[in-house]
Structure 1
Amino acid sequence: MYELFFEHFTKKVALTKEEEQQIQTYLTPKKLRKKQYLLQEGDVCKAIAFVEKGVLRQYSVDEAGNEHILQFALEGWLISDLYSFLTGEPASYHIDALEDSELVLISQTAHEQLLTNVPKYETFTRLTITGAYIAMQRRLTSIISLPVEERYMGLTSLYPDIVQRVPQHMIASYMGLTPETLSRIRRRLSSQ
C-alpha cells in the first residue's frame, strides 16, 4: 500500500529500510469512493493525504453555489487544507475524490512525532513545502501574466493526466473560466 509514498519520499530523501519501517508505523491507509469527502469546509483538517491511487480535488463553494477549484491531486501528490491542519482552525475548503482513491494519511500527531523523531522526514517536509510554494508562485504568475490560451496549453503540457481524467467543467473552474469559455479556447487551439 505504501509503495508510491516511499518511492516519492526517496526521490527527495534517501531512506534506509529501518527508517522506512519506522515512518510506516505513523502512516494510515484510507480508501475513498468517488464523490466521497476527505474533508468538508468548516471541519478541522486532521491529516495530510498522499494519493497512492485516484484523483482528488480541493475547492470552495461561493454564496451562489459556484465551485472554485484550488488544486487537483493525482497519484504521487499530497493534498490537505494546510492552514487548517497547522492551526487547528476550521477548514476553508472541501476535498473529495473524483475517482475511487487510495490514500496514505499522516495525522497531525504523527506529523509532529515524525518531525521530532525522524530528521529525514523533516527534510522531506521542507523540500515538499518548498516545491509546493514554487508551484503556487508559478501558477499565480501565469494567472496574472499569461493569456488564457497559453495557461491552458501549459496545463495540458505539464499535467496531461489531469486533462484526461478530470471533467472539462472542473478544469474550467480551476482556471477561473466558465465551461463555455474553455470550450471556445479549446476549439481555437484545435483549429490552429
Structure 2
Amino acid sequence: MESGKQAYILSLKQICPTLSDNELSLFVSKLSFHNLQKKEFFLETGAVQKAIGFITAGLVRSFYVDSAGDEITVGFYQAGDYATHYHSFLTRQPSNYTIQCLEQTDIACLSYEDLQWVYQQSTGFERYGRLVAEEILKRQQARIESFIFQTAEARYLTFIEKHPGLFNRVSLSHLCSYLGIERQTLTRIRQRLAHQ
C-alpha cells in the first residue's frame, strides 16, 4: 500500500508540480487501495463507475461485448494509467464497458464524492482533474482517429511504438480485438515487417 501511495503522489506531482505537501497528504488521505487478482473485475458492464482507479502495479483491459457476443477490447492500462470509464464516473450512469485484470493488479481509488470534496479544498486539485480528463480525451480521440486514418499495419506499429512493453503481456486475441483485425492478418503483418 505504501508503494502505491508513493506511485500516486509521484504521478500527482508530475501532473501538478505546484501542489504542496499538505495538499498531497490531503489527497492521499481520501484514497483506498485494492489488490485484484488476474481475471478479477474492477468494473462490470451495467455497474456505475464509482471511483477513479489509478493503477500502481499490474495490467487491465477495458472491453465491451458486441451484438454477436464477442468481446471487443478498447484499451489496455498499466501502472501509471487511469482505469476508469470516465463517462460513467461523471454522469453516475451504468457503464457499457468491463474492466478486467490481465495480471494481479494494485489500484488506488478515489470515489466521486471524495474527488468533489478534494476539488473544493484547492484549485490545484481542480487543475489536476482537468488535466487528467484532457489526457483521457486525447487518448480516446487518438483511438477513434486511428480507425479512420490508419491502416491495420499502422495501428499495429503505433501500438508497438507507444506500448513497447505490453506486447508480451497481452494475448494475441485481445491485441487483435483492440486493433480491429483478424489473427491471420496480424500474423501476415508481423511476417512482412520481419522481412523488411
Would you say same fold, with TM above 0.5? yes
Instruction: For residues 49-77 of structure 1, give each alpha carbon's deviation from its aligned partner in whole angstroms, at most 9, with x where no partner exists.
Output: 00000001111012322111111110000
1:60 alignment partner AA: Y
User: C-alpha displacement at 1:119, in angstroms?
Assistant: 1.9
Deviations 1:100-132 (A, max 9, x none): 000100111111111111321211111111122
Aligned position for 2:141: 137
Q: TM-score, normalised by structure 2?
A: 0.93
**1:153-172 paired onto structure 2 within 5 Å:** 153-172=157-176
Structure 2 counterparts to residues 5-44 of structure 1, below 5 A: 5-14=8-17, 15-44=19-48
CA distance in 1, matches of 2:144, 2:79: 23
Query: Is 1:149 the counterpart of 2:153 in the alignment?
Result: yes
Q: Residue type matched to 1:136 in 2?
A: Q
After the TM superposition, which residues 1-150 of structure 1 pair with which residues of structure 2 at under 5 Å, given as runs? Answer: 1-14=4-17, 15-150=19-154
Query: 1:122 is aligned with what amino acid?
Result: E
Deviation at 1:32, TM superposition (A): 0.4
Equivalent residue letter for 2:88: S
**Structure 1 outlier segments of 4+, above 4 Å:** none
TM-score, length-normalised on structure 1?
0.95
**Contact in 2 for aligned 1:149/1:189 (Cα 8 Å):** no
* Aligned-pair Cα RMSD in Å: 1.2
How many equivalent pairs are there?
192
Residue type of the alignment partner of 1:56: V
Q: Check whether the contact 2:152–2:181 (CA below 8 A) recurs between aligned residues.
A: no
The letter of the residue matching 2:9 is F
Q: Give a deviation string over 1:11-52, Cα, whole Å, max 9, x none.
A: 111222211111111111011000000111011111110000
The gaps in structure 1 that reach 5 residues or longer are none
Instruction: Output the amino acid matched with 1:7.
Output: L
Deviates more, 1:133-142 or 1:52-61: 133-142
Q: Alignment partner of 2:165: what SS?
A: helix
What does the per-residue CA deviation read over 1:114-152, in whole Å, with 9 as the maximum and x for residues that have no partner? 111132121111111112222222222222112211211
Counterpart CA distance in 2 for 1:118 and 1:103 is 24
Among all aligned residue pairs of Structure 1 and Structure 2, give the percentage whose two residues are the same amino acid: 29
Find the aligned partners of 1:136 and 1:40 in 2 and give their Cα distance. 20
